[in-house]
Structure 1
Amino acid sequence: MSSSLDNARIDQLDKHGFLFGKKLAASMSPLLHSTVYKGLGLDWEQLRLDSDDMDLFLRLIKHPKFYGASVTMPNKVSIIPHLDQLTPECLAIGACNTLFIRHDPSDGRRLFCGANTDVIGVRESFVQNISDPSLYENRPAMVIGGGGAARSAVYALHKFLGATQIYLVNRDKTEVEAVINECLLKGYGDKLVYLESVKQAEGLKEGLGAIVACIPDLEPVTEEEKTVRRIIEVMLSKGRGAMLEMCYNPCPFTALGRLAEKKGWKVILGTEAMVWQGIEQDKYWTGLGGEELPVEEVKKVIGERVRRLAEGN
């Protein structure tokens, strides 16, 4: 981002933001936001910053034309100490995916604020795609993974989606223990249960209503990864519900999604969560309400990209 070409691009725009993280080449985030800005007639752009260099990022956001950033892995947690304010969701989850700007009313200085819109993405993925909420409300749920996205999923299932219990499945026990301890400390961990073994999964009598998968689309290699896959298979066989597959990069059609579909589950693609969390981000950045943003056009553009991926293009 320090090249003269990039600086020239920034100079051409009225405002610019960043997508700050690693492995961004296939991300649809810039496409989503450019669709919003085009629909609003704004000469804005979200630029990819493929980096985990926090010092560089903190210098770049001081630019007077900077409006905000999408923050992705591995920067969602490390950005928090550098922010002036956090929204309640961001504070509770302990991960930030959205940086936005407000101004101090006393002296007008810029305040760099953090939000977590991933939780809105999870919530709206179920609300917008499942016509009968009794499929997942007042039923147990399961979250696969142990990172920032998993924390967002736990929060959404607990606060918005009516989960009676939330099972955590992950290859790394210490990550799960950290999630449970943090959620307990912040007041929403009482429903969490670590689902550690196939035998434990087989012993559960009640099936799941919702699953949120927050792991990369990779074939299991280690024994721990193979155990996770077997636990998932057992839980998918205990009933029918809806599964949100958060992984959409580089492709939203994953092995876990195919497995769930074979078991009769409704599978929600991760691009749905991406759309709804992105719309929430643009509400922060533009100051407009959701009804003022070109939501249908965003859904159309992202849907077309998904269709092309399904066709192998």
Structure 2
Amino acid sequence: MTTTTTTTTTTTTVSLQDELVYLDTKADHLDRHGYLFGQKLAASMSPLLHETVYRELGLRWEQIRLDSTDMDLFLRFMRHPKFYGASVTMPHKVAIIQHLDELTDECRDVGACNTIFVRDLPSGQRLFCGANTDVIGVRESFVQNVPAPDIYEHRPAMVIGGGGAARSAVYALHKWLKATDIYLVNRDEAEVAAVMAECTERGYGARLIHVSSVEQAEKLEGPGAIAACVPDFAPSTEQEKLARRITEVMLLKEKKGAMLEMCYNPSPYTALGALAEQHGWQVILGTEALIWQGIEQDKYWTGRAAYDLPVKEVKEIIAAKLAQVSRS
């Protein structure tokens, strides 16, 4: 059994025993540690974000990359006495839920968990709790970056994709951003059907509309907010090409809006984002969602309010990282 573990400065492939020794060594100079648990984590800015928060707060904490599909391994590490919590990414956002003691309302309603935090009871028992801060990332990306909310409020919205990020976007657009109808565009009809069924079961699926043809898209009112929740690759299958054509029809509508491009790994500068800008849309980079969902995570982990966290410093360090990506 092996797992790839990446700290903020090094990358190594280690055995389970080596990882346990590594953690014991970390415990000598760290007060607390957490994880980024998922796959394809090398380019993730999450550890950088949280490292900035901890440094500014004077905390001897660290978020460690755990690039692994081994759920049992993670559950074992989660029970370390100095574990403070974890960022959970694909493919574990749904699977982790069954292993948690409590869920926040957003986590339960979306059906996906991207944040684990610990609640210590007076009895000494530790409860492992799940939250979904992706929904906050979507909400704040629009609220913090669009100067006039009437650009997206009381207008239809559109979500491109059918995975966990798409579910979070639907939830945020429905609950906080005052969308009327929410259009779903995706290459896979079965994924759309699953999203619609789950959202309906949880009480917020009534205004979801699957846009499945160019002709249908041409007849619909244009969206004010778009959340793009798909990887950055050129459409190749007929279904992917159809989804892109439908998206272009919406981008060409006379009344424009703002698009949140959730994809930021390995780069937030995507082909879909460039297309939207060409058609006159404001494009919000996915790193904005990263920042705001990460700040929400640190509220859970540190117990501090957002105004007590170094948001300015986080924005500066992510902007500097983006400048490096842009130059490369």
| TM-score using structure 1 length | 0.97
Structure 1 counterpart of 2:134: 118
Task: Kindly state the Cα deviation for residue 10 of structure 1 after the two structures are TM-superposed.
Answer: 4.2
The answer to whether residue 273 in structure 2 is matched with residue 257 in structure 1 is yes
Aligned residues: 310
Q: Distance in 2 between matches of 1:287 and 1:9?
A: 23
- 2:212: which partner in 1? 196
Query: Where in structure 2 are the equivalents of 1:237-276 lying within 5 Å?
Result: 237-238=252-253, 239-276=255-292
The aligned residue for residue 43 of structure 1 is: 60
Q: Which amino acid in 1 is paired with 2:116? A: L
The aligned residue for residue 56 of structure 1 is: 73
Aligned mates of 1:181, 1:61 — CA distance in 2: 33
Q: Which stretch shows the higher mean deviation, 138-147 or 6-15?
A: 6-15
Please state how far the C-alpha of 1:8 moved relative to its aligned partner: 2.1
| Matching of residues 77-116 of structure 1 within 5 Å | 77-105=94-122, 107-116=123-132
Task: Provide the TM-score with structure 2 as the length reference.
Answer: 0.93
CA distance in structure 2 between the partners assigned to 1:235 and 1:10 by the alignment: 52
State the shift of 1:187 in Å: 0.5
Tell me, which stretches of 5 or more residues in structure 2 are unaligned?
Answer: 6-15
Q: Quick check: 1:180 aligned with 2:196?
A: yes
Q: Secondary structure at the match of 2:108?
A: helix
- Deviation readout 1:114-139 (Å, 9 max, x if unpaired): 00000000000000000100000000
Residue type matched to 2:296 in 1? Answer: E
| SS of equivalent residue, structure 1 residue 124 | helix
**Alpha-carbon shift at residue 5 of structure 1 (Å):** 4.0
Aligned to 2:180, the other structure's residue is in SS state strand
Matched, 1:138 2:154: yes
Distance (Å, rounded) in 2 between the aligned partners of 1:12 and 1:289: 26
Asked if 1:290 is matched to 2:280, the reply is: no
2-side partners of 1:166 and 1:104: how far apart? 41
In structure 2, what is the Cα distance between the partners aligned to 1:104 and 1:171? 46
Percent identity reads 67
Report the AA paired with residue 235 of structure 1: M
Which stretch of the first structure deviates more once superposed, 6-15 or 116-125?
Answer: 6-15
Pairwise CA RMSD: 1.0
1:208-254, CA deviations, whole angstroms, 9 ceiling, x for partnerless residues?
Answer: 10000001001111111111111110110013100000000000000
> Which secondary structure does the structure 1 equivalent of 2:181 belong to?
strand
Give 5+ residue unaligned stretches, structure 1: none
Q: Once the 2 structures are TM-superposed, how far is the Cα of residue 104 of structure 1 from its aligned partner?
A: 3.1
Q: Distance in 2 between matches of 1:29 and 1:124?
A: 17
Matched position secondary structure for 1:139 = coil
2-side partners of 1:132 and 1:38: how far apart?
Answer: 34
